[in-house]
Each structure stands twice: as C-alpha cells, then as structure tokens.
A = this chain, B = another copy of it.
Amino acid sequence: MVEHDLNRIFHALSDPTRRAILDRLAAGEATISHLSRPFPLSFAAVSKHLGVLEHAGLVTREKRGRERVCRINPAALEDAHNWLEFHEHFWTSRLEALDTLVGTSPDNLDE
C-alpha cells in the first residue's frame, strides 16, 4: 500500500455522491445508466464519479455487451480502514500517555 493509494481512496470517499453510489452498489452490481438515474446529475457526471471510484480501486467496471457493469470492491476499503484504525489507537494512547505524564487525571491525585 502506498501513499497515493490513500490519497485516492480518501478523496473518492470525500464526495457524498460517490458515497451514495457505493451504497447503491452494495445492493448488487449495476450499470452506469441505472446508477445515474436517481441522481439529479447528467449521465456523464455520474460516469466521471465512477471513474474516480474505479481509479481508487473501490469499484470495478466490466464491459458486458453495450453496457458497463459496475461492482463494488470492499477490499479497497481496507487500506483506509487500517490507516484509521492504527492512527486512532496510536493517537489515543499517546494522548493518554501524555495525560498520565502531566498528571491531569483526577485518578492520579493520591499517588
């Protein structure tokens, strides 16, 4: 896993339309036109969003006849998930360590 993978994944997830598309894809594969229907956006705009998601590895597109079927790829979330999990724990434990050091916690009064 490399830096720019995270850049792409987090960037892809930062747009509500793209997150909605992902949610929709969780219900099963779908074509682009089918995906674009519920959005107040042009077909091309949704296709671009799919491009961003595909580039981030979150979605795969497979040509099937004249249409293109999109599927979700949960594995790509792992990079982001791992980053968050590690940092959340790391940061929290560092902060707790600092608290203990400084002795701001009331529990430390009788030590």
- Chain A interface residues toward B at CB < 8 A: 3-4, 6-8, 10-11, 13-16, 19, 22-23, 25-28, 72, 74, 77-78, 80-81, 83-85, 87-88, 90-92, 94-95, 98
For the complex, what is the distance from the CA of A15 to the CA of B16, rounded to whole Å?
18
> Does B14 lie within 8 Å of A14, measured CB to CB?
yes
Apart from A6-B19, A74-B91, A81-B88, 14 more pairs, CB < 8 Å: A3-B16, A6-B13, A7-B15, A7-B16, A10-B14, A11-B14, A22-B87, A23-B87, A25-B91, A28-B94, A28-B98, A78-B88, A81-B84, A84-B84
For the complex, what is the distance from the CA of A25 to the CA of B74, rounded to whole Å?
30
For the complex, what is the distance from the CA of A95 to the CA of B29, rounded to whole Å?
10
